[in-house]
Amino acid sequence: MEAVRCSGLSKVFKRKIKIRALDDVSLTIEKNEVFGIVGPNGSGKSTLIRILSTLLIPDRGNASIFGYDVVREYGKVRRLINRVSVDAAFFKGISAWENLRYAGRLYGFGRKEIKERTLKILNELGFSEKRFYEPLEDLSRGMQQKVAIARAFFTSPMLLLLDEPTTGLDPRSKLDVQNFIRKSMNDYKGLTILLTTHDMKEAEVLCNRVAIIINGRFVTMGSPGELLKKHNKKNLEEIFLEVTGHEWKEDEDDT
């Protein structure tokens, strides 16, 4: 069964200059798959995630999640998805518990269930329960991101949109998050993940298939093994250099 289907998606932002964020993107992700998208900042990764999250309306093309159109049937789509973004967006003045309770209520969960589910996930992520009641502004970036991971996973979504969940984390936190994603794929049957990352190694290790996106277009796509074979390279980073024709660099603005 297809978890995600995108067909001819295009999005242009008219800011001071015209930015073509997505350019005729088509994609299919099967249920139970971890699909990775790698690309520099501003390449269109977050735009695609936002469209699938029902937060952005494409100019052309269409996208569906488990058969539901993200624009016309957004209510049904929202019941099936959750998301982690690169910046852990929270009410930073209040605690992890208060933020998670707020998020859980929006998904129809009761107080007790929210606490049990989130503490279980946070425990697996190596987050100390003592910090659960502290204002988020007092926690490190890594700890905040773990709370964001718990917020996305505890609602048991069928599709998780992970937008650079490990960017900016220290190596220990990064490993905790990666291990948790791997474990979740084993534990929660039926879960599908779309992961965007800057980390080629992360994509290689976690994803069943990987696509490289440059200037809003997929330039290559396949399983890590297929890509290495197809491009005759030792790792994804070398493939990236080959398909983009320039070295890995981070642009200023993320699209």
Partner 1 sequence: MILKNHAYGSIAFIERNFALIKRYIGWEVVFLAYNVVNALAIGLIGIKLGKDMVLYLIIGAMVWGFLSVLFHEISESIAWERWEGTIEYTFMAPISRFTHLIGNCLHAIVYGVVRSSLILVIVILFFGISIKVANLLGLLIILIVSGLSFIGLGLVAAVLPLLSTEKGAYATHIFEAVLLLISGVYYEIDVLPVWIRPLSYISPATYTLRAMRQVLLHGASLNDLLPTVILLLGIGVILIPLGMIIFREAEFYAKKKGKLKRSG
Select the span of 33-41, 88-96, 178-186, 224-232 touching partner 1 (CB under 8 A). 88-96
3-state secondary structure 203-241: HHHHCCEEEEEECCEEEEEECHHHHHHHHCCCCHHHHHH
Binding to partner 1 by residue 67, rule CB under 8 A? no
CB-side exposure of 98: number of CA atoms within 13 Å? 11
Please count the residues of this chain forming the interface with partner 1, following the rule CB under 8 A: 35
Q: Which of 34, 56, 191, 194 binds partner 1 (CB under 8 A)?
A: 56
Query: Which residues, 6 or more positions from 86, have their beta carbon under 8 angstroms from its beta carbon?
Result: 46, 163, 164, 165, 167, 168, 254
Residues 117-176 contacting partner 1, CB under 8 A: 135, 151
Select the span of 24-32, 99-107, 120-128, 228-236 touching partner 1 (CB under 8 A). 99-107
- Vertex 2 angle, CA 114 and 223, to 5°: 100
Quick one: 124 or 163, whose CB is closer to partner 1?
163
CA distance 164 to 152: 14
CA distance 11 to 89: 24
Select the span of 86-94, 126-134, 168-176, 239-247 touching partner 1 (CB under 8 A). 86-94
Q: Which of 72, 92, 120, 201 binds partner 1 (CB under 8 A)?
A: 92
List interacting residues with partner 1 (CB under 8 A): 11, 13, 47, 50, 53-57, 75, 78-79, 81-83, 85, 87, 89-94, 98, 101-103, 105-110, 135, 151
